[in-house]
A and B are shown apart, each in its own frame.
Chain A
Amino acid sequence: MPFFSVFRHRVSATLFTTCLVFPLTSVAQQPSYLPPDSGEILSQYRERCDYVLSQAVTTTSSFDETQGDLFGVAANLDRKTNLEWARKRLRTFNEPPTGNMFWMIPMVLIMQTGRDTLNDDDWAYIRKLWKTYYPYRGDTENHWLMYYTGQYLAAEMFPDDGPEHWFNGKSSAENMDEARSYIEDWIDITISHGQGEFDSPNYADVYIRPLLLLTGWVKDPSFRHKARMILDYILLDYAVESLDGFYGGAHSRVYPRHVIVPSLNAINPLGWLFFGQGEYRYNATHIIAVLSGYTPPTILFHIANDRTKPYIQRELKRTRWRLRNAGPNSFEVKGKRTVPVYKYSYVDSDFILGSCQGGLLQPIQQQTWSLIWRGPTGSSNTFFGLQPHSSPFEGSMYFGEDPDTVTDLIARSKVDYDSEDKLQGGSPYEQVFQHETALIALYDIPKDARFPLIHTFFSRDLKQREEDSSGWIFAQGGPVYIAYRPFAPGEWKPVDWTGLLKSGAGGFVSTGFAALSEGSQSYASYERQNGYIVQIAPSREHDSFESFKTAVKALPLEFSLSPTPSATFTSLDGSELQVSYGKPPSINGNDVEYSSWKLFDGPFSQSERGSKRLEMQYDRERYILDFNTVTIEETIIPSR
C-alpha cells in the first residue's frame, strides 16, 4: 500500500472510492462525512509531521554536499543528523547567495533550528551572509511578507546588534520595528479589505511559509499570536474553497502547468499535511510547518473535508495595488489604490465552480473562473475559459517599469504572458457572472486588441465530449456533467498550438508542459463580440448523461452579440439569469448587489467588511479570530 494511503483520512478514502463509482452509476448518492474526533485528527496530523521530518532526513544525500535544499539543512540541524553535510551544504548553497526574500526564509529557519547545533564558524559564516548579501524586497505582497519575516526573525536572534551587522545598515532594533510594522499593516489590510494576491493555489504557499515562521519563532507573545491568527485565516480561506486538497474557483495567480493539472499546485501538498487530503508530495513548506510546531485548529479539518451539503461561498478580495491606470472603480487604502474583487464559488462534494467578475483584477496570472472536479492526482480535472490579453496598460497598472519594456520584462519570467495561447490572465473585455452551477461569460473585444479571441480549455480527461446540433457542447469530467454553449462558432485546437510552452521556454513555468497538455484541446473563437454559458451538474443528480443533455437543451436561452453581448438564461435550478455586457447582472429580475458582499460569506465562515473579525463555524463549533482584541475564541454551542 502506498504511503499516502496510510495517512489519508478515512473520510477522504471513502470519497475517493465514491469518485470511482460515480461515473459508472446513475444512482443519486449523498456524500457522507463521519467527523473524526479532535484526538484522531491531531494524532494523524502528528503522524504526517513525523513522516515529513523523517523523509527530509532519510532522503538527504549525506555524501553529496551539492545536493539538497536549505530546508533539508534545517531539518537535519533540528534532528541533529547529517551535521557535516548540513554545514557544507549551507556553504555550497550560498556560493553565492541568491533568491532574495526566497533565500531569507530558509536561512532564518536554519538559524532557528540550528541554535544548539551550529558552531562558531557556522554562525560567523551566516552573519557574514546577512552583512554582505543585499536581498531585494521585491514587488509583490508575498515578496514583502517573506522579506520582512526574514528580517524580523534574523534580527530578533541578535537584538542588540548595531547597523554594522546587517546588509541594510540598520540595527536589529530598527529592522525589527520596520518589519513588524509592515507585517501588522499587511494583516490589517487583509482582514479589512481582503487579500491582494488572493486564493492562489501556488502563491498561498509563500504566504503560509513566513506565517509559519512567525507563528513558530517570534518571541513577542502578542505578535506571535497575531501571526498564528492570520495563518489560521489564510488556511480557512483555502479550506473553504477546496476539494480534496484542490483549490477551486477564481484565483489571483496561477501558472500554465498548474492550471491544466491542478494537483501540481504548491497548495495541494499542504492539503495533505494539514487536512489529510490527497497524496504526499515534497513541499519545503512541510518542513517549516513541522518545525514550527503549528497545529491547525481541528475545525479547519472539518471545513476542508465535509462536503455533504453543497454550498455557496462569497468572498470579497482586492486587486494588487495599482500604481497607474487605477480606474474609476478603484479606492484608496493608506495611500494606495485597489479595486474590489467579488468572488463566488459553488462548492459541491464532487466539484467546485467558481468565478470573479472579470476584468484586469490581477497582473498576468489571473484565473477569472474555473471548474475543478474530484479527480486523481496528475489528472487534468479542470475546465475554464479566458480572453488572452496582454498590454503595457495592464503591465504598468501593477509594475513600475516603463510602458515600452514592461511586457518584455514580465515575459522574462512569465513566458506566456504575451502569447495568445496563454492559459491564464484577466481581460479588460470580459464580464463573468455566476449563479450556483451556471455561469455566463460575455466578451466585447475591440478591433485593436492584442489577441482578438477567446478560448476554453477542454481537458483530455473529459469523457463523451459531444457537439450537439443545438449548439451545446456536452462533456463529462469525472463525476460532473458539463454543458457549454458558445455564442459564436469556434474551432478545436491543441492546447499550446503556437508551441511556445511546448518548446520549454520559460523554465519551470513550462517544464513538462508538452506531456501535461497532450490530448487536451482548446475551443478557440475569433468573434470579437462573444460569450458562452456553462451549466454544471453532478452526475449523481441525473439518471444519465443523456437525461442531463435533454434537460439542458430544454432550458430557455436567448442571447445577442450586437451591439454588445447580452444573454438571458434559465439555469437548471430554474433561476432566470440576465446579463448585458457592462451592466450589473440580475437573478430573477433582481440586480446582484456586489456592494453588500462580505469578506467571507458562507456556511463555514462569516466576516463583515471592516469588522476585523472572522467567525469559522462547523456544526456546533465556533472558532472566532478577533483581530480587534488579538484573541481566538473557541466555543461549542450546546445542543438543544
Chain B
Amino acid sequence: MKFLLSSFFILFFATLPLLADDSLVEPKLFAALGMTKSQKASPIPTDSGVFLYDTVNERWRRFGPTIQQVNSLSTDPSNPENIFLACGNGIVRSQDNGKTWRMVTGWRESDITKIVIDPSNGKNVYAASAWGVTISRDGGDSWSAANEGLVEKFSNSIVVDHLNPKRLLVATTAGLFVSYDSAETWEQIPTTPKIAILGLGRNKADPNIWIAGTEGNGVILSSDNGKTWQSTAPGLSTANIYGVTTDPFNGENLAAGGWGTGIWISTDGGKSWKNRGKELPSQNITATTFDYAQSGRLWASTFEEGTFYSDDMGVTWRSDDVVVPGATGSILGAYVNDLGFISVKK
C-alpha cells in the first residue's frame, strides 16, 4: 500500500492547486469555528468564523468575515482565489482571495456542513448539509437540491473523487452513498453500515484509501477506492468518530478521533492502531488532520480545550492557541467544526 513520495507529489499538486501556478499557491491550515466555551446562558456564540494558521509566526489569525457557525471551507483547485465557506447561514463565497465576500445561497440552503469543488471544472460545486446535498453548476451563483436516491438527507461530509470528478461520496445519517453522475443520482454503497457517517476522507498519497468515522461504529476503511469498506480500529468499534484523516505524505498513516476517545493512530494502513494523546486536556476530539505542508505533523482539535499538533505521531503535543494582542477573536476554547487544508494564493 505504500506509495512513493514522488507519486504523492504528483497527486498532491494535482489535487490542490490543479491549474494554478504552483509557485503562487501554498497549503494553509484552517480551523472552522462554531463557537467557544465562554458562551454561557446564551444561544449566541462568543466567537466564530475561520482562522488560518500562520506558520511563520506560529499563530492563528482570523480570515474572512465574522460569521457564526462556520462548519468548513474549501477553495477551487483551479482558481484558489475562489473560496467557499460552509456556514449555518448558507454558503459564502469570495472570488478575490478573501477581500470581499458574498452569501451566494438563498433561504432554501442552510446548515451547510461541507463543500467541495470539482477539480476539473470549478463550475461544479457540491455541498453537504443538514437538508441534503445542494449543488451548483455555475461556480456558486445558483444552487439546487440533489438528493435523488438518498435515504436520509442529513449529510455531514462530501468528497469528490479527484481522479474521476463525476464520482462523489456523501456521508449521510443512513450511511455512505456514491454518485457517478456528478451528484445527479445517488446509490448506497452496499458494504457500509446503514448508520450515520460523521466524517469522511480520502488519502492523497494513495487514492485507493478512504476512511470514515461513524456514529457508534467507530472507523471504517476502504482500500479499493471506496468500493468496499471494512471496520478497523477495534478499540473504537462503538465510538462516535468525528475526525478522520490520512497522511498525504504516507498512505500508511491514518488517524481518527471522536468523543471520549482521544486520538488513535495507525502507521500500517489500519492493521494496528494505538491510542495517543492521553495528555491532551480533553479526549473529546472534534476534528483532526495531517499537515499538508509539513510531513509527519498531525493536528487535532479537542472540544473547547484547544487545538494541538504533534510531530511525533501523537506522542507529544503542542498548542499555539493564544490570544494575539490586537487581533479580533481567537480559537482559544473553540468548538472547531473542521480542520483541514486549503490552497491559498500567496
A contact set with B: CB distance below 8 Å: 98-100, 134, 136-137, 139, 144, 148, 163-164, 167-170, 178, 181-182, 185, 323-324, 335-336, 400, 402-405, 409, 412-413, 415, 505-509
Contact A170 to B103, CB < 8 A, known contacts A336-B131, A400-B88, A404-B259: yes
Given A144-B107, A409-B35, 12 more pairs with CB closer than 8 A: A136-B68, A137-B90, A169-B92, A169-B102, A170-B102, A323-B111, A323-B130, A324-B173, A400-B113, A403-B215, A404-B258, A413-B42
B contact set with A: CB distance below 8 Å: 35, 39-44, 65-69, 88-90, 92, 100-103, 106-107, 110-111, 113, 130-132, 145, 147, 152-154, 173, 196, 198, 215, 240, 242, 258-260, 284, 286, 303, 335
| Residue of A with least CB distance to B102 | A169
Choose among B68, B110, B242 the residue that contacts A100 (Cβ–Cβ < 8 A).
Answer: B68
Q: Are B101 and A169 neighbours in the complex by a CB distance under 8 Å?
A: yes
Contact A505 to B41, CB < 8 A, known contacts A400-B111, A402-B240: yes
B151: min CB distance to chain A, Å: 12
Q: Are A181 and B107 neighbours in the complex by a CB distance under 8 Å?
A: yes
Which B residues are in CB contact (< 8 Å) with A405? Answer: 286, 303, 335
The 4 closest A-B pairs by CB, nearest first: A169-B102, A507-B41, A404-B259, A136-B68
Which B residues are in CB contact (< 8 Å) with A100? Answer: 44, 68
Which B residues are in CB contact (< 8 Å) with A170? Answer: 102-103
| Residue of A with least CB distance to B242 | A402
Which A residues are in CB contact (< 8 Å) with B67? Answer: 134, 136
Choose among B102, B196, B303 the residue that contacts A163 (Cβ–Cβ < 8 A).
Answer: B102
Which B residues are in CB contact (< 8 Å) with A400? Answer: 88, 111, 113, 130, 154
Which B residues are in CB contact (< 8 Å) with A167? Answer: 65
Which A residues are in CB contact (< 8 Å) with B90? Answer: 137
Query: What CA separation (Å) do A404 and B243 show in the bound complex?
Result: 13
Choose among B41, B153, B303 the residue that contacts A412 (Cβ–Cβ < 8 A).
Answer: B41
Query: What CA separation (Å) do A167 and B90 show in the bound complex?
Result: 14
Q: Are A169 and B100 neighbours in the complex by a CB distance under 8 Å?
A: yes
Query: What CA separation (Å) do A136 and B69 show in the bound complex?
Result: 8
Query: What CA separation (Å) do A443 and B40 show in the bound complex?
Result: 33
Choose among B44, B131, B173 the residue that contacts A99 (Cβ–Cβ < 8 A).
Answer: B44
Query: What CA separation (Å) do A163 and B94 show in the bound complex?
Result: 13
Contact A168 to B41, CB < 8 A, known contacts A134-B65, A323-B131, A405-B303: no
Choose among A182, A402, A415 the residue that contacts B41 (Cβ–Cβ < 8 A).
Answer: A415
Query: What CA separation (Å) do A372 and B44 show in the bound complex?
Result: 33
B327: min CB distance to chain A, Å: 15
| Residue of A with least CB distance to B145 | A335
Choose among A144, A324, A403, A412 the residue that contacts B40 (Cβ–Cβ < 8 A).
Answer: A412
Q: Are A404 and B103 neighbours in the complex by a CB distance under 8 Å?
A: no
Q: Are A412 and B42 neighbours in the complex by a CB distance under 8 Å?
A: yes
18 A-B residue pairings within 8 Å (CB atoms): A134-B67, A136-B44, A136-B68, A137-B110, A169-B101, A169-B102, A170-B102, A181-B106, A323-B130, A324-B152, A335-B132, A335-B153, A400-B154, A402-B240, A402-B286, A403-B196, A413-B42, A508-B41
Q: Are B41 and A509 neighbours in the complex by a CB distance under 8 Å?
A: yes
Interface of B is mostly: loop
Q: Are B88 and A137 neighbours in the complex by a CB distance under 8 Å?
A: yes
B217: min CB distance to chain A, Å: 13
Which A residues are in CB contact (< 8 Å) with B44? Answer: 98-100, 136
Query: What CA separation (Å) do A359 and B100 show in the bound complex?
Result: 47
Query: What CA separation (Å) do A505 and B41 show in the bound complex?
Result: 8
Contact A136 to B103, CB < 8 A, known contacts A412-B41, A413-B42: no
Most chain A CB atoms below 10 A, which of B67, B107, B131: B107
Choose among A163, A178, A412, A505 the residue that contacts B106 (Cβ–Cβ < 8 A).
Answer: A178
Query: What CA separation (Å) do A163 and B286 show in the bound complex?
Result: 35
Query: What CA separation (Å) do A505 and B40 show in the bound complex?
Result: 9
| Residue of B with least CB distance to A174 | B106
Which B residues are in CB contact (< 8 Å) with A144? Answer: 107
Q: Are B284 and A404 neighbours in the complex by a CB distance under 8 Å?
A: yes
Query: What CA separation (Å) do A324 and B196 show in the bound complex?
Result: 10
Query: What CA separation (Å) do A139 and B111 show in the bound complex?
Result: 9
Query: What CA separation (Å) do A136 and B34 show in the bound complex?
Result: 12
Contact A402 to B198, CB < 8 A, known contacts A412-B40, A505-B41: yes
Q: Are A168 and B102 neighbours in the complex by a CB distance under 8 Å?
A: yes
Contact A137 to B215, CB < 8 A, known contacts A402-B240, A412-B42: no
Query: What CA separation (Å) do A99 and B43 show in the bound complex?
Result: 10
| Residue of A with least CB distance to B111 | A400
Query: What CA separation (Å) do A168 and B67 show in the bound complex?
Result: 10
Q: Are A148 and B107 neighbours in the complex by a CB distance under 8 Å?
A: yes
Query: What CA separation (Å) do A41 and B44 show in the bound complex?
Result: 41
Query: What CA separation (Å) do A336 and B147 show in the bound complex?
Result: 12
A187: min CB distance to chain B, Å: 13
Which A residues are in CB contact (< 8 Å) with B92? Answer: 168-169
B213: min CB distance to chain A, Å: 11
Query: What CA separation (Å) do A100 and B89 show in the bound complex?
Result: 12
Query: What CA separation (Å) do A169 and B95 show in the bound complex?
Result: 12
Which A residues are in CB contact (< 8 Å) with B131? Answer: 323, 335-336
Contact A404 to B240, CB < 8 A, known contacts A136-B68, A412-B41, A413-B43: yes
Which A residues are in CB contact (< 8 Å) with B153? Answer: 335
Query: What CA separation (Å) do A530 and B40 show in the bound complex?
Result: 36
Query: What CA separation (Å) do A315 and B156 show in the bound complex?
Result: 36
Which A residues are in CB contact (< 8 Å) with B100? Answer: 164, 169
B134: min CB distance to chain A, Å: 11
Choose among A134, A336, A409, A415 the residue that contacts B66 (Cβ–Cβ < 8 A).
Answer: A134
Which B residues are in CB contact (< 8 Å) with A404? Answer: 240, 242, 258-260, 284
Which B residues are in CB contact (< 8 Å) with A412? Answer: 39-43
Which B residues are in CB contact (< 8 Å) with A505? Answer: 41
Contact A139 to B65, CB < 8 A, known contacts A506-B41, A509-B41: no
Q: Are A137 and B89 neighbours in the complex by a CB distance under 8 Å?
A: yes
Which B residues are in CB contact (< 8 Å) with A169? Answer: 92, 100-103
B186: min CB distance to chain A, Å: 15
| Residue of B with least CB distance to A414 | B43
Query: What CA separation (Å) do A495 and B208 show in the bound complex?
Result: 60
Query: What CA separation (Å) do A148 and B68 show in the bound complex?
Result: 17
| Residue of A with least CB distance to B35 | A409
Query: What CA separation (Å) do A509 and B42 show in the bound complex?
Result: 10
Most chain B CB atoms below 10 A, which of A148, A164, A169: A169
Query: What CA separation (Å) do A163 and B196 show in the bound complex?
Result: 39
Q: Are A507 and B154 neighbours in the complex by a CB distance under 8 Å?
A: no
Which A residues are in CB contact (< 8 Å) with B335? Answer: 405
Which A residues are in CB contact (< 8 Å) with B154? Answer: 323-324, 400
Q: Are A168 and B103 neighbours in the complex by a CB distance under 8 Å?
A: yes
Which B residues are in CB contact (< 8 Å) with A507? Answer: 40-42
A35: min CB distance to chain B, Å: 43
Which A residues are in CB contact (< 8 Å) with B101? Answer: 169
Which B residues are in CB contact (< 8 Å) with A148? Answer: 107
Choose among B107, B113, B132 the residue that contacts A178 (Cβ–Cβ < 8 A).
Answer: B107
Query: What CA separation (Å) do A297 and B222 show in the bound complex?
Result: 65
Query: What CA separation (Å) do A409 and B43 show in the bound complex?
Result: 8
Which B residues are in CB contact (< 8 Å) with A185? Answer: 107
A321: min CB distance to chain B, Å: 9
Q: Are B240 and A403 neighbours in the complex by a CB distance under 8 Å?
A: yes
Which B residues are in CB contact (< 8 Å) with A136? Answer: 44, 67-69, 88-89
